[in-house]
Amino acid sequence: MNKTLPEWISYVTALHSNKIELGLDRITQVGKKMDLISFEGTVITVAGTNGKGTTCAFLEEMLVEAGYKVGVYSSPHILRYTERLRINKEELSDDAHCNAFSVVERYRQKILLSFFEYVTLSCLYLLKLAQCDFILLEVGLGGRLDATNMVDSDLSVITTIAIDHTDWLGNDREVIGFEKAGVFRPFKPVVCGEYDPPKSLINHAKSINARITFAGKDFHAISYRTNWQWQGKTMLSLLPFSAMPQQNCSTALAVIDALSLDINPNTLKKAIGNAALAGRFEKIDMQIKNDVYLDVAHNPQSAKYLAKQLNRIRDAKLDACRIFAIVGMLKDKDCSGNFSELNVIVDEYQVISLDCERGATVAELDVFFQNSIKTINNVITYAKNIEEAYKNILLQINSSDIIVVFGSFYTVAAFLKFQGSECE
């Protein structure tokens, strides 16, 4: 099939009626035929509610800086499909992805694959060709039945456990913890970055004799005014702070420790300082004096961390500082919980509808906001789109004020598209 990448994506999207269909039977059938179950390099599977992408980004930076060849498969993308796969921090060409799609199509025969299964197989095929020293697989949804769990991994990571995707994973932490723990492998190491892991996760690790190390017990992060210290089997001091969560950096360092990799401390410090990921408290240039941040925070746990980061930035400013937020969310998320966490810090919301099937309308977001916990006198305003919301803010903003765009990958993507046209 001689298709362009957009044509392949349209074809794959239309192939299966369900965008999400958990289960490993279909993908494993095709994966075995394509020899994608095991890899020569070290495979690290990263699961969790929040922090998967940033944990992979920290690990990627550390390993690449140390001279290893590293492949990362992550999801979802923000602007470009090719964001889903990186080899040594570089995206692959459209042609490479088209070729991978054609190979999957040849092997799947009559087996119907979901979009995520098809994409996972194509990216695993490209990772196999790349012959990486390390392969980082970010779990898409849950763990036990996620497509990435087809692969034999050498080490598993759990970042955090919170309530999200309740339609698929359950509505309490014990059930969700068990689903996440499905990525564990018998007698293989596990790094748990969650400070309060559910008993279901701990019990499953014990039942299969997985060698698990816990944040707060086996490794620790200690913050000081200008730097922080990490303590595991080894100790690292004078580490730089990052815009991305320290908890996820600490987890990444625990992975390095668990693999007994001898990486120079200065190399790790440099990697921590350089690590970044699009849409994770990402500071962007809008050609104005104000700081503008993008964050894909879309559940209360991630919203709480975003509020903490905004508070830190605001406290560092000498002048009075107000925070204006442009927000769009999916209606199947805990939108009231998200507002409740950000209400402590946001002075005014510019609320937009998201142009997607699950997107909440401004009317629905208004109801969610009214049902949230109000901490300060928050103002909520409604805008037709990103452009109107941004221009509404510019009419009243002072030079020391902050703009933050959050709520969903769709919201961040829409703003980045607007930024591209605005700054041309």
Q: What is the mean pLDDT of the chain?
A: 93
- pLDDT band of residue 361 (cuts 50, 70, 90) is very high
pTM for the whole structure = 0.92
Whether 44 shows a pLDDT value over 50: the answer reads yes
Give residue 209's region: left, alpha or beta (phi > 0; psi -120 to 50): left
Residue among 398, 421, 7, 58 nearest 250 (CA) = 58
Can you tell me the mean pLDDT for 168-180? 79
Query: pLDDT tens, 239-267?
Result: 999 989 999 999 999 999 999 999 999 99
321 three-class SS? coil
Q: Are 295 and 412 in contact (CB under 8 A)?
A: yes
* Full DSSP string of 189-214: EEEE--SS--HHHHHHHHHTT-EEEE
Q: How many residues does the chain have?
A: 424
Structural domains of the chain ordered from first start: 5-274 (3.40.1190.10), 282-422 (3.90.190.20)
Query: pLDDT tens, 71-129?
Result: 999 999 999 999 999 999 999 999 999 999 999 999 999 999 999 999 999 999 999 99
> Two tokens at 73?
């498969």
- pLDDT band of residue 165 (cuts 50, 70, 90) is very low
Q: Are 157 and 54 in contact (CB under 8 A)?
A: no
pLDDT for position 201: 95
Can you tell me the mean pLDDT for 20-41? 90
